[in-house]
Each structure stands twice: as structure tokens, then as C-alpha cells.
């Protein structure tokens, strides 16, 4: 069974953007708040990348978590909660030959972890 009829009102470009954006939203709402520390950061990055690559049309996901923020936030509990400010994420989605890079990273001048379309091929 094909999902094409549900997306017939979208161009391939719009569909690629849609899939990348949905994936980025899933990342933010699923993983922000996850306990993390220096010892677990790599396994968390890998888990995020591998789970999001399962989403439709997603070619690749690259997650970076700011280690400096983890080190600065050390506390007696030995972990902190993941925040959007710690993340630098690139999601590449592809549909019918259109490649889109959706990005999220903290932008100092906005003081906000912004999600945006970085590139369309």
C-alpha cells in the first residue's frame, strides 16, 4: 500500500522538506530532557541518529552534543538533562531526487536553538 495519495498535493521538494521537518520535531520532542553525561553522550548521539534514520525519506542524521556544556554542568548527580542548546543536528531527507538538509543548532544572537532548512538540492 502506497502513501502517495496522502501526499499528492505536495511537490517532491515540499515532501522532502516535510519529512526532514517532521524528523527534526520528533528529535526535539522525543530526546530533549534525556539524562546525559560525558560517559553516555556518544551512545545517546548514536541512538538519536539511528532511530531518526528510520523515519521515511531520511538519508542521514548527524548529531553533535556540546561536550563543553556537559562538563560545565557537572553536578552531584553526575548527569544533566539534554537541552536544545546543547544540540547541533543535520538531517538529510530525500524524495524523488530532491535532497534537503534541515538543521537545528543554537544561534547565539537569537539565544535560541533554531530549526531551519539549510540547503535544498
- How much is the pLDDT for 72? 81
Query: Which superfamily is assigned to 10-120 in CATH?
Result: 7,8-dihydroneopterin aldolase (MptD) (3.30.1300.20)
pLDDT at 113: 96
Domain residue extents for the chain: 10-120
Predicted structure pTM score: 0.91
Q: With CA atoms as reference, report the closest residue to 36 among 64, 65, 63, 62.
A: 65
Task: Quote the DSSP letter at residue 48.
Answer: H
Q: Point out the residues of the chain with pLDDT beneath 70.
A: 1
Per-residue model confidence (pLDDT) at position 2: 80
pLDDT of amino acid 1: 62
Query: With contact defined as beta carbons under 8 Å apart, do 103 and 64 qualify?
Result: no
The span from the CA of 33 to the CA of 63, in Å, is 16
Judge whether 88 and 104 are in contact, CB under 8 Å.
yes
| Grid coordinates given for 101 | 538538509
Task: For strands 80-81 and 58-65, give the pairing.
Answer: unpaired
> What stretch of H or E contains 20?
helix 12-31
pLDDT at position 15 is 96
**Rounded Cα–Cα distance for residues 89 and 12 (Å):** 23
Distance, in Å, from the CA atom of 94 to the CA atom of 12, rounded to the nearest integer, reads: 9
Amino acid at each position: 500500500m502506497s502513501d502517495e495519495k496522502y501526499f499528492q498535493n505536495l511537490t517532491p521538494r515540499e515532501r522532502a522538506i516535510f519529512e526532514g521537518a517532521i524528523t527534526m520535531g520528533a528529535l526535539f520532542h522525543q530526546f530533549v530532557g534525556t539524562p546525559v553525561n560525558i560517559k553516555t553522550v556518544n551512545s545517546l548521539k548514536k541512538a538519536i541518529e539511528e532511530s531518526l534514520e528510520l523515519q521515511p525519506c531520511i538519508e542521514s542524521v548527524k548529531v553533535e552534543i556540546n561536550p563543553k556544556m556537559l562538563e560545565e554542568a557537572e553536578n552531584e548527580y553526575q548527569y544533566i538533562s539534554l537541552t536544545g542548546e546543547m544540540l547541533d543536528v543535520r538531517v538529510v531527507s530525500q524524495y524523488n531526487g530532491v535532497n534537503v538538509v534541515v538543521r537545528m543548532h543554537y544561534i547565539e544572537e537569537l539565544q535560541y536553538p533554531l530549526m531551519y532548512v539549510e540547503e535544498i538540492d
